[in-house]
Amino acid sequence: MGGAFLAAAVLARLGSRIGLPTIPLFILAGILLGPHTPGVALVDDPHELEMLSLLGLVLLLFYLGLEFHMDDLKEGGQKMAVAGAAYLALNVGAGLVFGFLVGWGTSEALVLAGVLGISSSAIVTKVLMDTGRLGNPETKPILGIIVVEDIFLALYLAALQPVISGADSMASAALDAGKAFGFLLLLAVVARWGTAVIGKLIATRDNELLVISFLGAAVFVAGVSEWFGVADAIGAFMVGLMLGSTSSGKKIMELVHPLRDAFGAIFFFAFGLSIDPGDLPSVVWPVLIAVALTLLMNVVAGLVAARIYGFGPRPAANIATALLARGEFALILATMAAGAGLDERLAPFIAGYVLILAVLGPLAAGRSAWLARVLPGGGNPDPDAPAGGGRPEPAAAGR
């Protein structure tokens, strides 16, 4: 574990000197020092870091919830739903068409629809932090799309599991989907009307007690969410959403920063451990086609979301590039596909596709101004865009 932290830190320091984002470097550290690459292997089994990795994902999404206030949902809930639905229709639809054209089978096509259609919440969150765009106007639709994706994800997983495993019980699939939706509804009700009570329960002047309280709440609700068939990440997000609206919200944001950064690095490092570079050559062409298709669909989705919100080309480019990366959800689908005995090409395809977009996404987000120039109206000054592309995040200044 110590070696993982140090390796990620060394590569990130080297990369920062030439302007590279930290996410792909953390992933690269995991690939180079994992069991699938010749040389020194710090970790023989990626599952050894699984709990720490999950904690990193939980903290990343918990922090995102702290940034995303209930007022944002009240004021722009309808626009967020429309933007999220449009993003899913474009990307999941394109993934389904791609899946059938590849010709690996119907169950495989349904898996590929999810792989190509859902962004990585963890990478999107980290990109917004690293680029200093958490305060930008276009961040609200980005976060709204992530929320819609995570709700869709819970229902999609519940429906997909019996299909790819060959189960013929629609009643079982409906029961799983109902459980997931019911728990999501419960979290939404608590977030909407229970904030005052939660604020009183969490409030304390003792930083130690506050850290233990919010960390316990985030991890516990994430675990219960997973038991109900809802992604653990959205459970943590909802806890952050609740606590961010309390009087302790600002203090919690300060205290969670070092935890988020440390365990977030382990999440991306463990992500790299799971990738076997030797499997990639056999699926290189499908991977490249899928990456090109995702790039196109994200640009279209960015333009659609910008139009819904009345933004110009720079925010549209920021939306398109911020949501580009694919990650943890795709890996979950790869595991499900392997367990169901689906086409053996799925696993290396998903690994290669996710690796390219996990690296390309943060790089593209940092250079979204290039895309903005070629979008409709990109040659004109964009009143919606901050001059530097985003405001620096005060708490991350020392990074």
pLDDT for the residue numbered 70: 63
Residue type, position 96, single letter: L
Alpha-carbon torsion 196, 60, 74, 244, what sign? Answer: positive
277-307: string of b/e by CB count within 10 Å (b at 16+)?
eebbeebeebbeebbebbbebbbbbbbbbbe
Count of CA atoms in the C-beta half-sphere (13 A) of 28: 15
Residue among 329, 399, 383, 398 at smallest CA distance from 357: 329
CA 127 to chain centre: 10
Kindly give the confidence (pLDDT) of every residue in the chain, 399 residues in length, as a single tens digit, with 9 standing for 90 and above.
888 888 888 988 887 787 677 777 888 888 888 888 888 888 888 788 888 888 988 898 898 788 766 665 566 678 888 999 999 999 999 999 999 999 999 989 999 999 999 998 878 888 888 888 888 889 888 988 988 887 787 678 767 766 776 655 567 667 777 777 788 888 888 887 888 899 899 999 999 999 999 999 999 999 998 888 777 877 888 899 889 888 899 999 999 989 988 888 888 888 788 778 887 888 999 999 999 999 999 999 999 999 999 999 999 999 999 999 987 778 778 777 777 788 888 888 988 898 899 889 988 998 899 999 999 877 654 444 443 444 444 433 333
Residue among 23, 57, 20 at smallest CA distance from 332: 57
pLDDT for the residue numbered 397: 35
CB 313 within 8 A of CB 372: yes
pLDDT for the residue numbered 385: 46
